[in-house]
Amino acid sequence: MTSNAVPECLIDGQPANQVRVTDRGLSYGDGLFETLRVSQGSIALIDYHLARLQRGIQALRLQADIELIAEEWRDLAARMGAGVIKLTLTRGSGQRGYAIPADVRTVRIQQCFPPANYPEAHAREGIRLFSCATRLAHQPLLAGIKHLNRLEQVLARSEWNDPQYAEGLVCDIQGLVVECTMSNLFARQDGIWLTPSLAQCGVSGVMREYLMNEMRAHGEQVEEVELQHSALLNASELFCCNSLFGVWPIIALDRHQWPVGPHSRYAQALAEQVIK
Amino acid sequence: MTSNAVPECLIDGQPANQVRVTDRGLSYGDGLFETLRVSQGSIALIDYHLARLQRGIQALRLQADIELIAEEWRDLAARMGAGVIKLTLTRGSGQRGYAIPADVRTVRIQQCFPPANYPEAHAREGIRLFSCATRLAHQPLLAGIKHLNRLEQVLARSEWNDPQYAEGLVCDIQGLVVECTMSNLFARQDGIWLTPSLAQCGVSGVMREYLMNEMRAHGEQVEEVELQHSALLNASELFCCNSLFGVWPIIALDRHQWPVGPHSRYAQALAEQVIK
């Protein structure tokens, strides 16, 4: 490996691709992850990723050197040029039992992947949403953060295989709309962008946060709300977003159809300013 | 290693102690575990463990050879004599994304530990319960099974360090009593054993199931109920149980105290018939 070659995976800074079976990330999902888009040698929305990671570290009371993580991200991004970095940060190794050992040491896994290859038509023409039956539980202690307990997302995503659906809509245990399996949701109604509150469940996506900030900075009204399914169906425009693909307009859900509207195109343009 | 030596860990039948960073057990907690008590060369409540594992396999739609797992358990138990086996069964390795790859292969991790060394006084004199503030979310799709998404238990167990508390009481998001962090709960009221329903959250412990069956077979009334915190405090006797330690009478919670009653001693005797 030359010094500029991109490693497949670094664990605590060293090339490696395995973790100990005693890692609490494996035993309990005791950790966090972040998935970063790298283009032109830099990371899109890095400050947003770092802020969410910091919130997760506090919620799980992990000990982690966030400066070191940021430095490693920037170094890997420069070497990769374009691609995806996935950080997995686990509590570290322990013996049996939920109690956190006094001498536990966080494990930092950085995986490098080629760029995500979603069909370009998703962004250009919009996507159809599958309606998932899996419901998200309410857990305010974990809501918003990107932790490793993701069985709900696995179950929701396993409900469909038909490639005509690029994403799936997921509601919470009360039937309120929350997000899609790997992205967040915006619905436009009466000239206002609505996005589901993530106080009880769901992942607070960095692209969602960036778009909320940018839209507001450009004079748009954006509200975090308890979004009823009926309000979703009455929306004039819908889109989903994440930091890898940017914005995908939503053109169909169940028997409802939407055109790709000008406000979704505007959101898309805002996303493209950072994901290039 | 001689053929009779006990391995620390087998992965898919081979001595190993690391898993790939792409394992979905690590990425998403996409898997199950079972913790087994081994004594006199055999596994306590093996049929109960196998039945719960089978329910988990169905709930997560895993592909697993449960006969092979049982065979490996019996073989390891015979070689260990006494100790603890922990099985972790993961979905296997995949690339990024929640979708389950078509060619995924379940990974079977069997770890062997020395016997659990809880103080004998816990069983003899009873224990004090810490009252955890962490609440369990309602998720009927995952309730009862022993999956790898255990952040709630990690958070609850991290609330206390004081060794005067051997276990912690955990309630659900509505304030109903569910279980302890690593064991199930029984409360005696008006001559009936009550144990919290696990339809919405919690782990269906094999010792709990065994005790319910045995008590009923011996003419005792046992009911699975929505257990209010107030009903718990009005109980005449309380105990917690799991398959490693059997039954621990509960003698204190907050400012309430209980004696170790005869019915808890009877439950303890039933447990001792299988954990020896």
Where do the domains of chain A lie, and which CATH numbers do they carry? 9-113 (3.30.470.10), 120-275 (3.20.10.10)
At residue B1 the predicted structure's pLDDT band, cuts being 50, 70 and 90, is very low
Q: Which two tokens stand for residue A64?
A: 């982690």
**What are B189-211's pLDDT values in tens digits?**
999 999 999 999 999 999 999 99
Q: What letter does residue B114 receive in the DSSP assignment? A: P
pLDDT of B3 above 60: no
Return the DSSP state at A181.
Answer: S
pLDDT at A276: 80
Return residues 213-252 of A near B (CB < 8 Å): none
First-to-last alpha carbon distance for chain B, in angstroms, is 29
Q: Is the C-alpha dihedral spanning A32, B94, A268, A76 positive or negative?
A: positive
Chain A residues in contact with B111 by the CB 8 A cut-off are 21-22
Give the best residue of A33, A155, A174, A203 to mutate against chain B (max B CB count within 10 A): A155
Task: Provide the pLDDT for residue A1.
Answer: 41
| Chain A: closest CA distance from residue B233 (Å) | 26
The one-character DSSP state at A6 is P
Q: How confident is the model at residue B268 (pLDDT cuts 50, 70, 90)?
A: very high
Q: Is the pLDDT of residue B4 over 80?
A: no
Chain B: closest CA distance from residue A243 (Å): 14
For chain A of 276 residues, list the mean pLDDT of each consecutive stretch of 10. Answer: 76 98 98 98 97 98 96 98 98 94 96 96 98 98 98 98 97 97 98 98 98 97 95 95 98 96 98 93
Task: Tell me how close the Cα of A108 comes to any Cα of chain B, in angstroms.
Answer: 11
Name the catalytic one among B72, B179, B220, B237: B179
CB contact under 8 A, A138 and B142: no
Task: Tell me the ipTM for this assembly.
Answer: 0.96
- Answer with the residue of higher pLDDT: B196 or B276: B196
Are A150 and B149 a contacting pair at CB < 8 A?
yes
CB-nearest partner of B18 from A21, A28, A97: A21
| Confidence band of B276 (pLDDT split at 50, 70, 90) | confident
Distance CA A146, CA A51 (A): 12
Q: How many CA atoms lie within 13 A of A41 on its CB side?
A: 4
How far apart CA B135 and CA B168 sit, in angstroms, is: 12
Cβ contact B166:B248 at 8 Å: yes
